[in-house]
Amino acid sequence: MNKELILLHLSLIDGIGPITIKKILSENQSGFDLQDLYKLKYADFVALFGFSRSAAEKLVCGLQNKAVVENEFKLIEKHEVYFVTVANENYPKLLANIYAPPAVLYFKGADILCHDKKIAFVGSRKAHRYGERCVEKLIPDLVDNDFVIVSGGAIGADSMAHRTTLRCAGKTVAVLGSGLLKPYPFSNRSMFDEIVQKGGAIVSSFPLMTEARPGNFPSRNRVIAGLSLGCVVIQAAKKSGACITAQYALDEGRDVFAVPGDVDDELSYGCHSLIQQGAKLVGCSEDILIELGLYAAKSYVSSEKKDGGVKSKKYNLQTVEKNVDIGQDNNSVESRILKCCKTPSSTEDIATIANIEIVELHEILFDLQIAGKIKQNHAGMFERV
């Protein structure tokens, strides 16, 4: 079995995530042969990599089941899906630079994930005509400047961004919160097909038959932010996945842009909060291009020269406000997770210490982030706010 298939196999093992795989790859750099993983016993995983007994057991049991990777590879071939691992030179460089990038990316369509100029558009599923007008105003110039538009394939603002890009004859990438053979939402399936047909791609970090679940979307949002130079937020409530995606973008040193809206519209609150905290206010495409250093606007340059030249900005966004009670039961799952997060902790460490399945944990972590109780730091670790 070659290196790519071994990494694919590791990614399919329940409870084994990118941090564990990263440790194994680090050892591989010092001469360890990945093929030898199939010969290791529990104690070997503990001694070689410093894994817990629980993680070692998951690895040994998972690696014994070669049928899982054989079945996944059959589906890959049958449905003309491509996959790339984090150890491959064709893995997107921007995404590879985030903390603990997904070990495997699946995609259908054109191989444009390594395109240098990608920008994310995110917003509410309830986005209305104002959001559509903003998207239609911003995206055509970005497409003309060779940008690939990245979004999450959902209804609302995501769909507006994808469809506008397609109408402009641009390339767009839809990052799904489900497996590629279970595309979500189903109502957008024809749009996904059109994206592929017109030179774009649909992407997922989840195995092909994975159903959409609430706990999948934080990982999906990290990929959206990680693939992109910057993130544009249009029509987002103050507590929303779009604002969390913006936080991910910030944590990875990417630019954050927000489009202001009607002060009486709850879908403006998230954007206005981001602007108050330092995100770049966007009224036209030039605002984005200037911030990324890709547009020379005379009026902008001259006005900035009066103050001694153009200065880069560092954003310091905060997570959503903390006004949701999680409960007082010190033995509840939420309390155990919050205790783990007193110090920065990985998903896998939390799952082990709190004794909770990874799938369920992702959903609770998402709820706790929305509630403003925890956040992911620049290293991708969860910590209390």
| Structural domain total, the chain | 3
Give the 3-state secondary structure of residue 123.
strand
Q: Measuring CA to CA, which residue among 256, 2, 303, 289 is closest to residue 140?
A: 289
Residue 175's nearest CA partner among 135, 140, 222, 136 is 222
State which residues form the domain around 127.
Answer: 109-305
Does a structural domain hold residue 360?
A: yes
Question: In this model, does residue 321 exceed pLDDT 70?
Answer: no
Alpha-carbon distance of 284 to 138, in angstroms, equals 6
Whether 31 and 154 map to the same domain: the answer is: no
**Residue where one domain finishes, among candidates 59, 78, 97:** 78
With a cut of 80, say whether residue 315 has pLDDT above it: no
88, part of any domain = no
What is the reported pTM? 0.78
Do 250 and 338 share a domain, yes or no?
Answer: no
pLDDT band at 29; cut points 50, 70, 90: low
At 350, which CATH number?
1.10.10.10
Shared domain check, 58 and 116? no
Per-residue pLDDT of 172-216, as tens digits, reads 999 999 999 999 999 999 999 999 999 999 999 999 999 999 889
Q: Which is higher by pLDDT, 315 or 364? A: 364
- Three-state DSSP state, 270: helix
Average pLDDT over residues 57-81: 96
Q: What is the pLDDT of residues 127-170, one digit of tens each?
A: 999 999 999 999 999 999 999 999 999 999 999 999 999 999 99
Same domain for 361 and 273: no
Q: What is the pLDDT of residue 355?
A: 80
Task: Please check whether residues 357 and 276 belong to one and the same domain.
Answer: no
Domain boundary residue among 28, 62, 78?
78
Both structure tokens of 294? 């890709």
Residues 22 and 162 in one domain: no
Q: Are residues 216 and 140 in the same domain?
A: yes
With respect to residue 225, please indicate whether it lies within any of the assigned structural domains.
yes
